[in-house]
Amino acid sequence: MKIEEIRIPSMMGENVKVKKWYVKNNEMVKKNSLLVEIESGDFDMEINSNYSGKLKILLQEDSYGKTNDVLCTITY
């Protein structure tokens, strides 16, 4: 079993808000599934899964993070 960390991309900077999760904690996701929408200022970004597996959410909706913070993990 491997664990993949999904992180806030470097282009997002500081004060990145988790706007909406499209999946639930501990849900099984498929590769290329839409996971989460994040925003920083006027810039929004949607993040898809690169793997199929079980999702664990680490940053909840309406919480804030910064570049390289882990949004979630996928165990596959």
**Could you write out the DSSP letters of every residue in 9-46?**
-GGG-SSEEEEEESS-TT-EE-TT-EEEEEEETTEEEE
> What mean pLDDT comes out for the span 3-26?
95
Give me 44's structure tokens. 């929004």
- Give the per-residue pLDDT at 13: 80
Pair of tokens at residue 10:
């470097």
- Domain extents in the chain: 3-75
Burial of 30 (0-12, 13-18, 19+ CB in 10 A): exposed
Question: Into which CATH architecture does domain 3-75 fall?
Answer: Beta Barrel (2.40)
For the question of whether the overall pTM of this predicted structure is more than 0.85, the answer is yes
For residue 76, pLDDT beyond 90: yes
Distance CA 56, CA 76 (A): 12
- CB–CB of 36/21 below 8 Å? yes
